[in-house]
Amino acid sequence: MRYPVRMFDRREFVKVLSALGAAAALPACSQPRPRLSDYPFQLGVASGYPGPDGIVLWTRLATDLTQSGGGLGLVPIPVRWEIARDEHFASIATSGTAEASPEWAHSVHVEAKGLEPERWYWYRFAAGDALSPVGRTRTAPPFDASPGRLRFAFASCQQYEQGYFGAYRYILRDDPDLIAFLGDYIYESSWGREHVRKHNAGEPYSLADYRIRHALYRSDPDLQAAHAACPWILTWDDHEVDNDYADDRPEDGMPKEEFLARRAAAYRAYYEHMPLPARMRPEGPNMRIYTQLGWGTLARFFVLDDRQYRWWHACPRPGRRGGSNTVDVEKCPALFNPRRTMLGRAQERWLESALSSSRARWNVLAQQTRMAQFDEKPGPGRVAWTDAWDGYPAERARLYDIVEQSGANMLVLSGDSHMAWVNEPHRDGRRLGLELSASTITGPSIGELTATAAMCASR
């Protein structure tokens, strides 16, 4: 990576300021500097949601990652921030002070404005005498500009126990302008025996539990480096809360009220640990994360949420109230209810309006689950997996109608399936776009598991 994440202790911080002089020093704060027992930027820095004139900057102060509050108590802490035009911070573009509130786990979400379009910037934070790692970010082109190139990466499914996050090193070698994360940033659950490292607690249910789980994942150096290298856009899938949940129903028998309390805790911890704009701050168990952002006239990203508003799964497994299933479509007529929705009516109407009015060359749907129709089992008939868009065929048909009528050049990005796919969504032989799906950041892919099962069966 060209701009490595580095943590400074107090002695190094003083040396850096002495070398760079007053022009490079962060703006002074009128409040007394807090005394911190340990280095507070152990979770790194991040940026996200670039616009032509602004960017979201993020950090979270924590000195003890095993505590829900990060070891900082209940006192708000002033955090100074600055954005520079160069990596040495000789030319400061903008700066300010934000409050890290204990109510939000001492996280900081700065929405910096007044920046120049289509250029790289460098940023950092300071709290007390501690200086954060330096992050690199960039702004998007003007809305009416025609950039010749956009280099972006997308990723999903990073289970901490199943492997290290070294895949990000290879992503950063390509020097992306943007990273899109498509869900399963954390995993609430644990499975398998071949773990390279362990979760530091059991399955999370409370806000304290989810904060500790997020902090553990955020402590990974490769993940920190990826966040510090370029801006991200993000959506979630199921494991940020609970496997295979749909709206207010988990896959197990947890009562609705208890599950919504769990979802509220998970959403709050998610916001506290991601470079999200303030408009996405959750209210109880509700959090709007679907949005759009442009890259000039070259591309427009539509970041979708197919978990929070979806109808319950059709034909769940026997003995379960919810959760996905693999079903013979002829034996599951509930699949074809025309009212079934994965996005919810409000998000679907928003997407229809946004896609229909887009004039971008590429319209990129950054979303969670496989969209193209798929047969899970060779042979007569068709077997569908109900957690993907195959479980919501009527809404998929409505989306295809929008794409066909608007003439939008659709590129679908999908996660969740743990396999690399290239699909061509089509209707009556007419191609409607392209779907790409990447494998996991960690853990075995479905392809590996299938190959292993086939080898065992042949012995």
Q: Which of 136-149 are b and which e, b meaning 16 or more Cβ less than 10 Å from the residue's Cβ?
A: bbbbbbbeeeeeee
Task: Give the separation between CA 450 and CA 378, rounded to whole angstroms.
Answer: 14
- For 260-319, the pLDDT digits (tens) are 999 999 999 999 999 999 999 999 999 999 999 999 999 999 999 999 999 999 999 887
CB-CB contact of 381 with 329 (8 Å): yes
The residues, ordered by sequence, that sit 6+ positions from 193 with a Cβ below 8 Å of its Cβ are: none
CA 135 to centroid of chain Cα atoms: 18
| Stretch among 30-44, 166-180, 348-362 having the lowest mean pLDDT | 30-44
- For 373-422, the pLDDT digits (tens) are 988 888 888 999 999 999 999 999 999 999 999 999 999 999 998 989 89
Q: Provide mean pLDDT across the span 13-36.
A: 48
Domains of the chain by residue range: 1-139, 142-458
The amino acid at 202: G
CA 173 to centroid of chain Cα atoms: 20
What is the bridge-based pairing of β-strands 92-100 and 77-84? antiparallel
Give me the residue label for tokens 């059709």.
Answer: 314
Q: With respect to CATH, is domain 142-458 assigned 3.60.21.70?
A: yes
Q: Given this model, what pLDDT does residue 8 score?
A: 38
Tell me the C-alpha to C-alpha distance, in Å, between residue 179 and each of 70, 159, 226, 350, 355. Answer: 27, 18, 9, 24, 22
pTM of this prediction?
0.91
Q: Given this model, what pLDDT does residue 24 score?
A: 41
Q: Provide mean pLDDT across the span 135-149.
A: 97
In this chain, the answer to whether the domains covering 1-139 and 142-458 adopt an identical fold is no
Q: What are phi and psi of 78, to 5 degrees?
A: -70, 135
- For 420-449, the pLDDT digits (tens) are 989 999 888 889 999 999 899 997 666 655
Q: Which of 172-199 are b and which e, b meaning 16 or more Cβ less than 10 Å from the residue's Cβ?
A: beeebbbbbbbbbbbbbeeeeeeeeeeb
- Averaged pLDDT score across all residues of the chain: 90
Q: With respect to CATH, is domain 1-139 assigned 2.60.40.380?
A: yes
